[in-house]
Chain A
């Protein structure tokens, strides 16, 4: 972060008088000089006080003036997430602090937390110093670490809501929150899987639990909710889930990821889809597999997006294939949207599942080439 700021300053200096006026204007918008950029989000709008900034840390203050829960994103090319705040409830304000090198970005509010969102261009100037190869890889892991942090923050929040609903005996609310809380888990599952002992406690399915180990976690509560409908004794199980999630979140955020982790994670998430979600094995009681499916794909996309500058430089045609194939997966999955969520797995026909499977295979094969590109 410090390096970035120094870099930005020296470049501004070199621009000299010609750039002064512009600099004055934009520096007044940077957090250091003029406080955060305000974002007024509503259910149909996304007003941003200024659409440019100078390179370095930029802070957005997002206020939700609508009736729907919203999110705010800053995207680089290819929807690489530079920063995001999720779950901004109506009436609340949240800050997003993000480190932005010079370039063209897009901001997006997502009322209802779905879709592409309400987008606008956001320009950052001041530092055009090209990154070295190593710096690009560093930028990739930093960018992905930010993603992991945003997802784990949302996971803690939504899992707590889910756990609270279970403990309150509110079956309907717990059922509604189950796939939502899992979304944040599923997006970053390969990171969670680094911690081999915790992952099965949180997400183990009944048949994969080893002998002598208790069936706990999401799927245990899922079974209570959907099979027996009796959660009167599920409170302690819910507390254990929350404790395990807290532990894994702390570990995940402390983990120093390598670029190869990202590349392999992008592929593993699609493997998750192919083996567990298309078959309906993952959420066999609730049939909410498509929530997990979408989250896996989003997580995979986020990892590829973080690696985007590296891929652009080293394997541009692979990157364009990935863009096309991600779009094909989105299109195939998009047919099964219902409201803010998805159809249930048992509502899909064999032909629907085959189409999804084909789309995933079409994406997973090129994505399996990413690790070698990153490693070379």
Chain B
């Protein structure tokens, strides 16, 4: 093993995240992808490569090392929820084609095995992109060869239609296991939902610090699923719009504002227990330790927003565009003071400002763990950016969290003039996979 690999491993452990590529070697033997990448470095010139890597690591600039490291796949909760939000997203929703329950179980087992491998930086299959027979298509598609794990997380969820399809059929004998919290979302005022990019029987959220790694994961899972599932819709996101850990800076969404300042974060132990994780007694036991994801593709009317004055933009959001501070306060993390009057005597944060309407104080204390991403799907044929926010929020029970908050926003938020909700979905994300013998959803199907 080259010194570079050793350094990378140590740096990752120093920062509290075990490099899972090492921990899960027993899954498959050689971590093929990384072995290849190191070979590549060697060819370029071992000395200079090691020098660069070493200096980056020593100066405590561990961002690069952390960005490359593996996130543990196995655990009580699924990764990809409180994991510090990675930079890139590929989210995919599937419809189940198979009509036998055992086919769904086989798929989930195969997905779990491939996910355990890919999140550790390995190829999707055992022989890999280049290790198989010349006559056979490789069991990994190969575009991640040489790339590190890149913080890849894969998070699975089950949609309402898995339990009872649109025609009311209980295809897999699961109807009595549907959690009450996995209720269909109501229609909200202003919804412009497109059915073909909404809903889904299953979802996979792939987040990584390298877009190629996220796309590789979804592509290989979709390939494994051919015949059993069909991709219903998918969405790429290119920049996180929330921080889910206090170690992260707050990013900006495409409106140019810091987003997710008041988000639930990995460090909020008690709040997470109260607002994020399904607990015993909430519903069916198979969801204990799981969480519910709501996704909304929110298209932004970028051009009209850009023509809006700075002052108006700030009163619509309720924050200063530069610092992110709540209006009337000075620093980003200052708590907003909704009673504070502005220069004109009206509240500094208007009664219909976005942060007021979305704030827990205005929503019976409801919090969300937001994990959204900016998206740009090219342009719309009229020369306008087809862009916005792919909103993802995790929570303990959407009926008491996302739904009341969104009702309030949909009715009164001034921001609605500049956005359109075009897709919507809700998924029950089961607890984590406990070990190599476990699989996604075993509690539900077992």
- Residues in A lying within 8 Å of B, measured CB to CB: 260, 325, 328, 350, 354, 358, 361-366, 368-369, 371-372, 374-376
Contact = CB atoms under 8 A, between A and B. Distances in A.
B226 interface: yes
B227 A365 contact: yes
A362 B132 CA distance: 22
A325 B227 contact: yes
Interface in B176-217: 196
Contact of A361 (B137, B196, B227): B227
Contacts of B136: 368-369, 371-372, 375
A260 B135 contact: yes
Nearest to A325: B227
Contacts of A371: 135-136
Give the interface size class of chain B: 10 to 19
Contacts of B230: 354, 358, 361
A362 B135 contact: no
B223 interface: yes
Contacts of A374: 135
B133 A363 contact: no
B415 interface: no
B97 interface: yes
A354 B137 CA distance: 24
Contacts of B132: 372
Given A354-B230, A368-B137, 18 more contacts: A260-B135, A358-B227, A358-B230, A361-B227, A361-B230, A362-B226, A364-B226, A365-B223, A365-B226, A365-B227, A368-B136, A369-B136, A371-B135, A371-B136, A372-B132, A372-B136, A374-B135, A375-B133
A324 to B, nearest CB: 9
Contacts of A372: 132-133, 135-136
Contacts of A362: 97, 226-228
Contacts of B223: 365
Nearest to B224: A365
B343 to A, nearest CB: 54
Across chains A and B, which 4 residue pairs bring their CB atoms closest together, nearest first?
A: A362-B227, A372-B136, A375-B135, A365-B226
Contact of B226 (A260, A350, A354, A361): A361
A367 to B, nearest CB: 10
Main secondary structure on chain A at its contact with chain B? helix
Main secondary structure on chain B at its contact with chain A? loop
A374 B133 CA distance: 12
Interface in B101-136: 132-133, 135-136
B139 to A, nearest CB: 10
A365 to B, nearest CB: 4
A375 B136 CA distance: 9
Q: Which of A260, A361, A375 has the most CB of B within 10 A?
A: A361
A365 B97 CA distance: 15
A366 B227 CA distance: 9
B135 A358 contact: no
A363 B227 contact: yes
Contacts of A358: 97, 227, 230
A369 B132 CA distance: 12
Contacts of B137: 368-369
Contacts of A365: 223, 226-227
Interface string B209-239: 0000000000000010011101000000000
Nearest to B229: A358
A201 to B, nearest CB: 30
A86 B223 CA distance: 38
Nearest to A374: B135
Contacts of A350: 196
A75 B136 CA distance: 29
A225 B227 CA distance: 38
Nearest to A361: B226
Interface string B294-309: 0000000000000000
A362 B136 CA distance: 17
A318 to B, nearest CB: 12
Nearest to A357: B230
Q: Which of B133, B137, B226, B227 has the most CB of A within 10 A?
A: B227
Contacts of A368: 136-137
Q: Which of B133, B137, B226, B228 has the most CB of A within 10 A?
A: B226
Nearest to A358: B230
A361 B132 CA distance: 22
A372 B132 CA distance: 10
A328 B228 CA distance: 11
A170 B366 CA distance: 74
25 contacts: A260-B135, A325-B227, A328-B227, A354-B230, A358-B97, A358-B227, A358-B230, A361-B226, A361-B230, A362-B97, A362-B227, A362-B228, A363-B227, A365-B227, A366-B227, A368-B136, A371-B135, A371-B136, A372-B132, A372-B133, A372-B135, A372-B136, A374-B135, A375-B136, A376-B133
Nearest to B136: A372
B138 to A, nearest CB: 10
A358 B135 CA distance: 25
B110 to A, nearest CB: 12
Nearest to B133: A372
Interface string B128-170: 0000110111000000000000000000000000000000000
Contacts of B135: 260, 371-372, 374-375
Contacts of A328: 227
A287 B133 CA distance: 39
A46 B105 CA distance: 45
